[in-house]
Amino acid sequence: MSTPDSSSQPSLVQQSRDGDILILTINNPPVNAFSVGVPEGLKAGLDAAAADDSVKAVVIIGGGRTFVAGADIRTFDLPREQSPDLRGTIEKLDAFTKPTVAAIHGTALGGGLELAMGCTYRVAVPGAQVGLPEVKLGVLPGAGGTQRLPRVVGAAKALDMMLSGNPIRATEASQLGLIDRLIDGDLLAGAVEFAREMADARPLPRISDRSVPGATPDVFAAARQGIKKTHRGQLSPSLIVDLAEMAAAVPFQEGWDAEATKFMEAKDSPQSRGLRHIFFAERESAKIPGITKDTPTTEIRSAGIIGAGTMGGGIAMNFLNVGIPVTIVETQQEALDRGLSVIRRNYENTARKGRMSMEDVEARMALLTPTLDMGDLKDADIIIEAVFENMDVKKDIFTRLDGIAKPGAILASNTSTLDVNEIASVTSRPESVIGLHFFSPANVMKLLEIVRAEKTSDTVLATSMALARRIKKVGVVVGVCDGFVGNRMVHRYGDEARQIVEEGAKPEDVDASMNALGLPMGPFQMSDMAGLDIGHAIRQHQAKVAGQPRPDGWLDRIVETGRKGQKTQGGIYDYDETRRPIPNADMQKLIEDYRAEKGITPREITQEESTKRLAYSLVNEGAKILEEGIAQRAGDIDVIYIYGYGFPAYRGGPMQYASEQGLKNVVADLEKYGQTPAPLLKRLAEEGKTFAQYDAEKGR
Ligand code: CAA
């Protein structure tokens, strides 16, 4: 339909004509981010349209799979003069005297939606999505979004969109007036037709000329109250509320100028660096050297799960949620019935909250086949063992599975600590064996540690990565060692936490020191939740293996009183009906008696010391893991800690947090508190580098 113009063009934006309409097509794969070259191309297009009387209107469209997915996040740290001029482009659009139409497919996110709101009109295919996700990167819409979105959709909806960062569908956006026309069929043809209809309509309905509907004081007060819960300790959400309030209170230009200043403040914060680091680290973690798009994968059409306990049931739900039938095996009918009823109850609770219909519940339950016969797993494409942590039991199961599973089936263990090579060695097909370590509650936590054993085949690894995506998990590949990445680090962290109490701190102060860093649970709140008997058993086992005396720390003594944590209504803490931890005087006395018996004079430990010792114990173990090649990248460790352990994303994960503190300072503090810094950490500190630089230099 359109004829490309043969004159020389900036390569990221192509100009073409359809009669009296000039079409500007942005081509910056893969997501048409607003990189250097895009503003130059758009401005040149607008100049051409202004200079040519035969052009009545302009259509801006994205080439490839999407409209503009936002500012180019990779350019955020460039000096301002080298950054792509998104704001200048939008100013030019706003002042433009002919109609401009944004034609949206795929996603118009962040700067993409801001660009579209700078146009006179917006049209979209019904399946498109639009949103302002900047809060997820620790910034705010910095190219007019905070000023224009409230003017279109009203204060409350705009706040909801900007504070959640979640996109809405074009169909909803059209009801809100954010999209002027939905176009079924050929988007470009529809957009050109719309532009032609509007070519002579004057005055141009600029968003910047409007006022903000529904801007009552209570809307902003409610938003401020809400972010205390949803975004505790974060900078950009409160700046967003301030700016949305300004949109209603001051002339457009004043709000637009204020937005630029606040954007820079948020962008230059460690929180934004942390969140941007995680954005890229999560995407990097999906890249495995040697595994390419051409690595063959197998199709997973059915799954078998051994063990219907908390883990097995949670794992099963992941598969049922995406329509994969599951056969679940137990040894006793009672355990099987219990497992099934827990799964049903979980789904029914979700339905009660209105997040699922009862038909959905039944549809999922219908995909689940309970059995006491492991032989029923013979046709499963993947089998995941989720029984308790005991090597002999696991070896027995894998020996039997070897005789049952069809050739090519993936045999996975959900072990959280055990040697997957040893488990694989009992089968005749170690290439089919892999560790798939889910995190409790397995139907909720997003992390999946994918444990690549020595002989795991590329196909099994690539299939497991694809499976993680399909069941909506973030899969991170790790190597075999005791505890892999996450639990190995958490064991070291637990040791340090107990040591801090031994030296004089109260457990609640140690937990508070990690809450202050933004973790929802400190080390003792976490162990009470997981069950104190688990850590106790691991410590006893490790001492036995190492030929050391039976561990007798203060926490072991608590466990030996029968208090195992939340499951026994009390552990280190007591719990009320809302599961709030309450310090227990008897346990405090037990700790004091323990210190007295060991001749320890308690000393005052500041919150700062506690936070540093705990956070840096994670980092130090992480550095060892990295050097041993158990994790491929420091970024992978950060992704594991954010999705598996609740480390706040705005800190960027423990390794990024350490880099922000300066690795030299981390090393000095470790030494000050009597920990030996890992050789890699010391080396990077001496070279003045960060973990991100280490990853970049390794090309991973
Ligand atoms: N800038 C730079 N690179 C980006 C990018 C962006 N805004 N968005 C995506 N990419 C890159 C990804 O890093 C990835 O690169 P690799 O292939 O090298 O790993 C590639 O594009 C494809 O991305 P995904 O793997 O995420 O692809 P997807 O199809 O699963 O998702 C998407 C596409 C929904 C657009 C998703 O990438 C996304 O959510 N992107 C971020 C959108 C965003 O946050 N925009 C706001 C930016 S901030 C802003 O605009 C500030 C402002 O107000 C001025």
Per-residue model confidence as pLDDT tens digits over 438-464: 998 899 999 999 999 999 999 999 999
Among candidate residues 186, 183, 196, 190, the one with its CA nearest the CA of residue 57: 196
- Mean residue pLDDT of the chain comes to 95
pLDDT (tens digit per residue) in 174-186: 999 999 999 999 9
The pLDDT of residue 6 is 39
Which pLDDT band holds residue 530 (cuts at 50, 70, 90)?
A: confident
Atom of ligand 1 nearest to the CA of 286: 19
Say what the pTM is. 0.93
505-598 maps to CATH 1.20.210.10 = no
Quick check: 9 pLDDT over 90? no
Strands 410-413 and 433-438: parallel
For ligand 1, atom 44, the nearest C-alpha belongs to 133
The pLDDT of residue 315 is 97
> Hey, which residues does 122 pair with through a beta bridge?
102
Q: Where in the chain is the domain with CATH 1.10.1040.50?
A: 269-296+607-700, 505-598
Q: Where in the chain is the domain with CATH 3.40.50.720?
A: 303-478
Quick check: 328 pLDDT over 50? yes
Query: Which residues have CB under 8 Å from 234's CB, separation 6+?
Result: 138, 227, 271, 650
Atom of ligand 1 nearest to the CA of 109: 45
Q: How far apart are CA 405 and CA 378, in angstroms?
A: 5
Which pLDDT band holds residue 700 (cuts at 50, 70, 90)?
A: low
Q: Where are the alpha helices (DSSP H) in 434-549?
A: 458-470, 486-503, 507-515, 523-530, 532-545
- CA atoms lying within 13 Å on the CB side of residue 323: 1
pLDDT (tens digit per residue) in 361-408: 999 999 999 999 999 999 999 999 999 888 999 999 999 999 999 999
Which pLDDT band holds residue 423 (cuts at 50, 70, 90)?
A: very high
The pLDDT of residue 4 is 40
Please give, one letter per residue, the 3-state secondary structure of 142-153.
Answer: CCCHHHHHHHHH
**Is 68 near ligand 1, meaning CB less than 6 Å away?**
no
Residues marked active site are found at: 114, 134
Q: Quick check: 257 and 84 in contact, CB under 8 A?
A: no
The pLDDT of residue 698 is 85
pLDDT (tens digit per residue) in 112-140: 999 999 999 999 999 999 999 999 999 99
**Is 259 near ligand 1, meaning CB less than 6 Å away?**
no
Q: Where in the chain is the domain with CATH 3.90.226.10?
A: 10-252
What topology does CATH give the domain 303-478?
Rossmann fold (3.40.50)
Which pLDDT band holds residue 280 (cuts at 50, 70, 90)?
A: very high
Atom of ligand 1 nearest to the CA of 69: 35
pLDDT > 90: percent of the chain: 91
Quick check: 5 pLDDT over 70? no
Q: Quick check: 121 and 149 in contact, CB under 8 A?
A: no
Q: CATH says 269-296+607-700 is which class?
A: mainly alpha
What superfamily in CATH does domain 10-252 come from? 2-enoyl-CoA Hydratase; Chain A, domain 1 (3.90.226.10)
**Is 528 near ligand 1, meaning CB less than 6 Å away?**
no
